[in-house]
């Protein structure tokens, strides 16, 4: 066989004659041959590796959202033999990522949960490297992103609480310097106003279990008449529900609670949490596909892919 024929079989080209394919595959099996990835990268000019840049380690420990992101991205990359490199945000993350891209150690970047002043999205754009965001950018810049319809999710929570008969409704928000926190609050408030309850109390959290508990303590102390609350993540709701029990508030009889995400935390809550579902694994898989398109073609158009949320009703509201 010629080298070119063997190469076509190894690389899965479908036009190779079946008898030739079987002969080459038998030879591969008997010799234990494996492709030299370093040599292949010299030919393809690819590292077959992408970076998944996550918030600092203190933010992701114990948060099922990030596990779901990794799982969804991996479902697309693993069958293609593309390696996933996990990186945490820090003071020098941007420079390191750009250096790895320019020096051929990475092919592209998926960036998760940027904040208002985060320089990394703009830095990656300026370096003309393949990049996809996990949510709409905090600033209007020409960059591909994948998101759920956050405002529609907030509206679903509002409609459900009002339909249950709640007359004094509040919300515990996520970090308002991050687009998901801002957009969920905006969608919730707008829907509540349309439903005749424009006076919505809000306390800011930061998407962690601890911030949910602290925000609920503040909410009960300052607004004891609240009978329904939208909590902008299941993890914050998991922290808030024990506070309600401590203060003798029954869920959902005294306080109806709706979360956001439909993560494993929703099922860990007592009672199980009514929540707005975002299809995180599907969204993460789409991020990977969008990034691979950019890696394959440098002139791939900028896109925004938006998934629709669904209300999942359980026992908390």
**For the segment 127-180, what is each residue's pLDDT rounded down to a tens digit?**
788 899 998 888 888 999 999 999 999 999 999 999 999 999 999 999 998 889
Region 290-312: what's the mean pLDDT? 92
When the pLDDT of each residue in the chain is averaged and rounded to a whole number, the result is: 88
Tokens standing for 111? 């960036």
CATH of domain 150-277: 3.40.50.2300
- CA triple 118-124-126, angle to 5 deg: 110
113, 202, 218 from 144: Cα distances, Å: 14, 31, 38
Start and end residues for every CATH 3.40.50.2300 domain found in the chain: 45-148+280-308, 150-277
CATH homologous superfamily of 45-148+280-308 equals Response regulator (3.40.50.2300)
- pLDDT confidence of 311, banded at 50, 70, 90? very high
- CA triple 193-199-205, angle to 5 deg: 100
Instruction: Give the integer Cα–Cα distance in Å for 269 and 292.
Output: 37
The residue written with tokens 């509206």 in the block is 155
Instruction: Give the integer Cα–Cα distance in Å for 191 and 185.
Output: 10
Region 298-312: what's the mean pLDDT? 92
Region 175-188: what's the mean pLDDT? 93
Region 251-278: what's the mean pLDDT? 94
Closest CA to 243 of 218, 275, 208: 218
Tokens standing for 7? 């190469």
Q: Would you say 72 and 263 are in contact if contact means Cβ atoms under 8 Å apart?
A: no
State the pTM of this model.
0.80
Q: What is the pLDDT of residue 79?
A: 87
What confidence tens digit (pLDDT) does each residue in 26-84 have?
888 888 776 655 455 445 556 689 989 887 655 666 788 888 999 999 999 988 889 99
Closest CA to 151 of 111, 120, 193, 118: 193
Q: What is the pLDDT of residue 42?
A: 47
């Amino acid at each position: 066989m010629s080298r070119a024929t063997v190469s076509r079989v190894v690389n899965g080209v479908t036009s190779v004659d079946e008898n030739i394919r079987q002969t080459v595959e038998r030879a591969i099996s008997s010799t234990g041959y494996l492709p030299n990835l370093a040599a292949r990268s010299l030919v393809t000019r690819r590292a077959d590796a992408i970076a998944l840049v996550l918030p600092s380690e203190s933010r992701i420990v114990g948060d099922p959202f990030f596990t779901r992101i990794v799982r969804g991205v991996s479902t697309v990359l693993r069958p293609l033999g593309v390696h996933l490199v996990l990186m945490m945000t820090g003071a020098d993350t941007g420079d390191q990522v750009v250096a790895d891209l320019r020096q051929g150690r990475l092919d592209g970047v998926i960036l998760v949960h940027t904040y208002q002043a985060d320089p990394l999205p703009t830095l990656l754009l300026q370096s003309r490297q393949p990049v996809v965001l996990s949510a709409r950018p905090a600033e209007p810049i020409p960059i591909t992103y994948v998101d759920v319809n956050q405002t529609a999710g907030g509206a679903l929570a509002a409609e459900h609480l009002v339909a249950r008969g709640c007359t004094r409704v509040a919300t515990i928000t996520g970090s308002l310097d991050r687009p998901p926190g801002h957009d969920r609050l905006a969608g919730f408030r707008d829907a509540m106003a349309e439903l005749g309850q424009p006076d919505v109390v809000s306390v800011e959290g930061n998407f962690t279990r601890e911030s949910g508990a602290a925000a609920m303590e503040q909410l009960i102390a300052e607004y004891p008449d609240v009978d329904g609350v939208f909590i902008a993540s299941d993890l914050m709701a998991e922290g808030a529900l024990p506070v309600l029990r401590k203060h003798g508030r029954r869920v959902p009889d005294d306080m109806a609670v709706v979360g956001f995400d439909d993560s494993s935390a929703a099922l860990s809550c007592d009672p199980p949490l009514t929540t707005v579902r975002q299809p995180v694994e599907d969204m993460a898989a789409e991020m990977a596909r969008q990034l691979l398109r950019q890696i394959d073609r440098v002139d791939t158009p900028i896109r925004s892919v938006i998934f629709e949320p669904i209300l999942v009703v359980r026992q908390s509201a």
